[in-house]
């Protein structure tokens, strides 16, 4: 019988330069969550990660919650837990949609990571304006992304699967700056 395997649209792609590395993130499960303030506690207890009402991400083990708006989060689990199933038993009013395969993660790291992202992202990505642990939905070139600064010189880009070739190629082009 033929084997069926899910292939990442960025499988095999990698950019390694002296000052910056661009690589696809390992597979993960993802949940798009919207919930009013009154439901947040119950959801956070079920997901075992705080849904923080601010700009900073919250990380517990392989799971992190990224605040995107006043009542909206993206939860990512790098060990592939079934996040939608966890929320199924929560009675409090909320919306939770499994978007694991809608997004692809791209990891950008190195001393030139900030400059490479700024080739397509108009935000101020200096450490003062976009510190470690900060997450935001923003723009990369022509596509929408969710950007997280995981370390001073490391970012995670979450982009829709069908835009991932564009996003990765744009970052790859940006690394060709002779300075990098």
Residues near other proteins (CB under 8 A): 68-70, 72, 122-123, 136-139, 144
Of residues 81 and 104, the one with the C-beta less far from other proteins: 104
Of residues 46 and 166, the one with the C-beta less far from other proteins: 166
Q: Buried b / exposed e across 132-161, counting CB within 10 Å, b at 16+? A: ebbbbebebbebebbbbbbeebebbbbbbe
Smallest gap from Cβ 161 to other proteins, in A, equals 18
Smallest gap from Cβ 135 to other proteins, in A, equals 11
Smallest gap from Cβ 144 to other proteins, in A, equals 5
Of residues 81 and 136, the one with the C-beta less far from other proteins: 136
Smallest gap from Cβ 71 to other proteins, in A, equals 9
Q: How far apart are CA 46 and CA 44, in angstroms?
A: 5
Smallest gap from Cβ 18 to other proteins, in A, equals 29
From start to end of the chain, where are the E strands?
15-17, 20-24, 29-34, 58-60, 63-69, 72-77, 95-98, 103-109, 135-140, 143-151, 154-160
Of residues 70 and 178, the one with the C-beta less far from other proteins: 70
Of residues 37 and 139, the one with the C-beta less far from other proteins: 139
């Amino acid at each position: 019988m033929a084997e069926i395997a899910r292939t990442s649209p960025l499988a095999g792609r990698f950019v390694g330069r002296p000052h910056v590395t661009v690589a696809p993130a390992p597979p993960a499960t993802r949940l798009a969550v919207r919930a009013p303030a009154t439901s947040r506690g119950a959801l956070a207890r079920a997901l075992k990660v705080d849904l923080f009402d601010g700009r900073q991400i919250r990380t517990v083990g392989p799971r992190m919650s990224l605040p995107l708006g006043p009542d909206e989060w993206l939860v990512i689990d790098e060990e592939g837990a079934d996040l939608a199933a966890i929320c199924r038993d929560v009675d409090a009013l909320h919306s939770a949609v499994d978007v694991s395969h809608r997004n692809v993660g791209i990891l950008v790291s190195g001393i030139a990571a900030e400059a490479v992202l700024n080739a397509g992202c108009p935000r101020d990505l200096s450490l003062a304006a976009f510190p470690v642990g900060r997450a935001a939905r923003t723009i990369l070139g022509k596509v929408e992304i969710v950007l997280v600064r995981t370390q001073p010189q490391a970012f995670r880009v979450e982009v829709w699967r069908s835009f991932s070739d564009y996003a990765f190629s744009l970052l790859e082009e940006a690394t060709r700056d002779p300075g990098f």
